[in-house]
Amino acid sequence: MEGCVDFSGGNYGIENTLQKGFRVVRHFLGSRIVEKIEIDNTSGNKNVPEEELKIDIEGKSIFLSKGVCRFVDHLFKNGPKRISSWEMGRNAMSCSRRPKHYISRWIDFNEKFGLGYQLSDSSVGVNFKDNSRLVVDGSMENYQYIDKNGARVCFDYDKCPTNLGKRCKLLEYFKNYMENNLLAEPPAEEHENIEIVDTGTPILLKWKRNDKCICFILLNGVFQINFLEDHTKFIISIPTSSISIIDKDNKLKTYCLEGLINGGVDAFTEEKMFYIKKVIDEWTSLKRRHEGNDDVVVAKKSNNNK
CATH number of the domain bearing residue 68: 3.30.1120.30
Per residue in 229-239, pLDDT (tens digit) is: 999 999 999 98
Q: What is the mean pLDDT of residues 34-60?
A: 59
Q: Is residue 211 part of a domain?
A: yes
pLDDT > 90 fraction of the chain, expressed in percent and rounded: 43
Residue-number span of the structural domain to which 197 is assigned: 57-287
Q: Is residue 2 part of a domain?
A: no
Number of domains in the chain: 1
Q: Is residue 153 part of a domain?
A: yes
Highest mean pLDDT among 115-119, 180-184, 201-205, 298-302: 115-119
Q: Is residue 29 part of a domain?
A: no
Mean pLDDT of the chain: 79
Q: Is residue 44 part of a domain?
A: no
The reported pTM is: 0.79
Q: What is the mean pLDDT of residues 297-303?
A: 42
Q: Is residue 20 part of a domain?
A: no
* pLDDT of amino acid 48: 43
Is residue 2 pLDDT above 70, yes or no?
no
Q: Cα–Cα distance between 160 and 88 in angstroms, integer?
A: 49
What are the CA-CA distances from residue 284 to residues 50, 194, 294 (Å)? Answer: 29, 32, 15
3-state helix, strand, coil in the chain (%, to 5): 30, 30, 40
* pLDDT of amino acid 19: 54
Q: Could you tell me how far CA 147 lies from the centroid of its own chain? A: 19
Residues 6+ apart with CB under 8 A from 122: 138
Q: Is residue 30 part of a domain?
A: no
Per residue in 127-180, pLDDT (tens digit) is: 999 999 999 998 899 999 999 999 988 999 889 999 999 999 999 999 999 999
Per residue in 86-114, pLDDT (tens digit) is: 888 887 767 778 888 999 999 998 788 99
Q: Is residue 270 part of a domain?
A: yes
Question: Band of the pLDDT at 186, cuts 50, 70, 90?
Answer: confident
Coil, helix or strand at residue 181:
helix
Q: What is the mean pLDDT of residues 55-78?
A: 87
Q: What is the mean pLDDT of residues 210-226?
A: 95
Radius of gyration of the chain (CA): 19
Alpha helices in 243-287 (DSSP H): 257-263, 267-285
